[in-house]
Amino acid sequence: MSDLEQAAATQLANIEKRTGRSIHDLAALLRASGLAKHGEQVALLKRELGMGHGDANLLAHHVRKLDAVAAGQAGPATPADAVAALYSGKKAHLRPIHDKLMAAIRKFGAFEEAPKKSYVSLRRKKQFAMIGPATNTQVEVGINLKGIEPTGGLVALPPKSMCDYKIRIGSADEVDKALLGWIRKAFDAAG
């Protein structure tokens, strides 16, 4: 969770404490009001519950985002939700592969994890890898690294592809020294 996400989560927890109502109940209040505009919702929360502008603004944004996600009109609310969505349904059994890869990569040092629609982009100054379910049976790891000889399951991609190489793996046991070595070289080169 990023610092901003953590701050918002803390503020939402504090709103629950101050109002004595759950976020679920507060969201129901906003929905029942029939107010569609953000400013009207903020004014309602300030007037009816005595909230400060910051709390009312965050809560109104949070509820609108939850509603958009539920209606399929927006992406997941948090990066963790986005990753969970990638590995849902028939791809749920692939999540341990993703988790094992990420646990190993996080040991390399600081980098950004940016979930996209079908994969997670891993970036330092530039993208060094991407991970996502390729099929219902395999996770694909894309690696940005110049000048290595593809061996094993590593496949060179055409020029101007999103990554230089890719490899598909079907079990967490395939997260091995060779794969992590390639990713580590790409990590170091992207810094």
Each of the 191 residues of the chain gets a pLDDT tens digit; together they read 567 778 888 899 999 999 999 888 898 899 899 998 999 999 999 999 999 999 999 999 888 887 776 666 655 556 777 788 888 889 999 999 999 999 999 999 999 988 888 899 999 999 999 999 999 999 999 999 988 888 888 999 998 888 999 999 999 999 999 999 999 999 999 98
Query: How much is the pLDDT for 89?
Result: 86
> In degrees to the nearest 10, what's the CA dihedral of 75, 80, 81, 83?
80
Which stretches within the chain are classed as H helix? 3-19, 23-33, 38-49, 53-70, 79-86, 95-106, 177-189
Give the Cα separation of 182 and 143 in Å (integer).
Answer: 8
H-run or E-run covering 114: strand 112-115
Contact 7, 58 (CB under 8 A): no
What are the two backbone dihedrals, phi and then psi, of residue 43, each rounded to the nearest 5 degrees?
-60, -40
Query: How much is the pLDDT for 35?
Result: 92
Give the burial class of 52: count Cβ atoms within 10 A of its Cβ; 0-12 exposed, 13-18 middle, 19 or more buried.
exposed
pTM: 0.61
H-run or E-run covering 139: strand 139-143
Query: How much is the pLDDT for 4?
Result: 72
Local structure of 176: helix, strand or coil? coil
Query: How much is the pLDDT for 2?
Result: 64
- The residues near 37 (Cβ < 8 Å, ≥ 6 apart) are none
Query: How much is the pLDDT for 72?
Result: 63
Taking alpha carbons only, the member of 62, 61, 42 closest to residue 52 is 42
Residue 116: both structure tokens together = 């996209």
Q: Give residue 160's region: left, alpha or beta (phi > 0; psi -120 to 50).
A: left
